[in-house]
Structure 1
Amino acid sequence: MEKINKIGHRGAKAHLAENTLESIEKAISLGVNMIEIDVHRCATGELFVIHDFTLDRTTNGSGEVAKKSSAEMQSFLIEERFKIPTLHEVLDLIENKCQINIELKGRNTAEAVSEIIQYKVEKEQWEYSNFLVSSFQKNELFEVKKINSSIPLAVLSKASVPEAIELGKKLDAVAIHPSVGIITRDNTKLCQDHGFKINVWTVNEVNDIVRMIDFGVDGIISDYPDRLQNPVKLSQN
């Protein structure tokens, strides 16, 4: 399993509340190589780590993230006990422990994320290879490429791997991130033949994890990082 990139989805989503510092810390303790998180930009410009465009599903707040100030975002709680972290707080937590996949969820996130990554590289001796920026929003990805072409990019897809490859070529992306529902042995090879790494999401069932390994994918994004450690043994139990 060492050659497979073990990626914790929103931290360790199956174990602790998604996109929280506690969930990310849990994923690191379970041996991930990379953490996948989502970012939105609030009304005052700060980047917060939260999946949805609204607060309603995951917090005790309500309304759109983009319309809340930083102070308001910091006042809301997840499951009545966890805070919504900023991207800065997440980076401070994971420093030198694993890589990070930042998914640009909200609009106008590309510039702020690019600035933070550049700061980390220039001022805090991070490597660009510590980062991977992904999105379903191709405009945000093209904006990152325009701002700083050194930042590694990944194309998310839940519809068509060949279309993702074509977009990846235009972006000079390094990876394709297809959903487990569209991945096959053939399109895994197609991605790799075109020079892309292939990281599949969200793979939770042990049999699916084993199947992805058999397909030869480069990375697996899972809510259960613990299942990525020795899935073949788990499947035999």
Structure 2
Amino acid sequence: MDCIAHRGFPGVNPENTVTAVANAATRADAVEVDVRICGSGELVVCHDETVDRTTDGSGPVSAHTAEELAALSVEGSDQGVPTFEDVVEAVPGDVTLYAELKERGTGEAVERVAADAAPEVVVSSFDPGALTEVTELPTALVQWEGEGLVSRARELGCSAVAPNLDACDASLVERAHGAGLDVTAWTVTDPGETEELQEAGADGAITDFPDCCPS
């Protein structure tokens, strides 16, 4: 089972930063980041709609330029909010990059960046509409609950599903595998949860901590 570093292991790194991604890539099979569009039009990596929670700045991501975002301090570090291109460059070719689309209008731009990227890029999203923008890359539908997840993912042409940890059991994994879909569950914060996912037959654990990676 693969270890997927959620936001670059935010349990030990400033989340969604270049340093977090680079460090996580040395310990995980894949790294997951969140993608938005900033005020100057570039793709940037930030989970929330605003920068208030994670940085010393305030206001919507969409109200800041890429340069302004880079000048902020994420979680008291010397790292700013990076562009998606900067993050892609920090991931080696033997590590997969999961790009979670946090808003529509980002899919085509992610594909353009990914076309010249060293790592394989998988695009995920809670929003089916965002995934329909992606035509060239493998996709994964993210969902809190397991009900209807497999059928929705098949309709969208996805290659994987990403249920919440509480919704991921052996029955869901069996249905997904029967439909030709991989299963990566989130968010693991305890090694015991990793073991439960392994027993259920999941393909990946999306985790905040490197110590939760499958052994």
Using the size of structure 1 for normalisation, the TM-score is: 0.86
Map residues 120-131 of structure 1 onto 2, 5 A cutoff. 120=117, 126=118, 130-131=120-121
Specify every segment of 5 or more residues in structure 1 that has no aligned partner in the other structure, as ranges.
121-125, 231-237
Report if aligned partners of 1:28, 1:97 keep a CA contact under 8 Å in 2: no
Distance 1:7 1:47, change over 3 A: same
Cα deviations by residue, 1:22-49 (Å, 9 ceiling, x for unpaired): 211221222x110000011011110111
Pairing 1:158–2:144 present: yes
Cα deviations by residue, 1:61-93 (Å, 9 ceiling, x for unpaired): 111111212222122111232211111111111
Distance 1:210 1:100 in 2: 23
Pairing 1:173–2:158 present: yes
* Other-structure match for 2:97: 100
* Other-structure match for 1:15: 12
Map residues 117-156 of structure 1 onto 2, 5 A cutoff. 117-120=114-117, 126=118, 130-144=120-134, 148=135, 150-156=136-142
* Other-structure match for 1:223: 208
Q: In percent, how many aligned pairs have the same letter?
A: 29
* Other-structure match for 1:50: 46
Specify every segment of 5 or more residues in structure 2 that has no aligned partner in the other structure, as ranges.
none
Deviation of the 1:95 alpha carbon? 2.7
Map residues 191-230 of structure 1 onto 2, 5 A cutoff. 191-230=176-215
Deviation of the 1:227 alpha carbon? 2.4
The code of the aligned residue for 1:137 comes to D
Q: Choose from 8, 11, 35 the match for 2:31.
A: 35
Report if aligned partners of 2:4, 2:30 keep a CA contact under 8 Å in 1: yes
The code of the aligned residue for 1:94 comes to V
Distance 2:137 2:49 in 1: 24
The code of the aligned residue for 1:34 comes to A
Distance 1:153 1:106 in 2: 15
Distance 2:31 2:96 in 1: 6
Stretches (4+) displaced over 6 A:
none
Distance 2:54 2:171 in 1: 37
Structure with the bigger percentage of helix: 1
* Other-structure match for 1:233: none
The code of the aligned residue for 1:134 comes to S
Deviation of the 1:229 alpha carbon? 4.1
Report if aligned partners of 1:7, 1:34 keep a CA contact under 8 Å in 2: yes
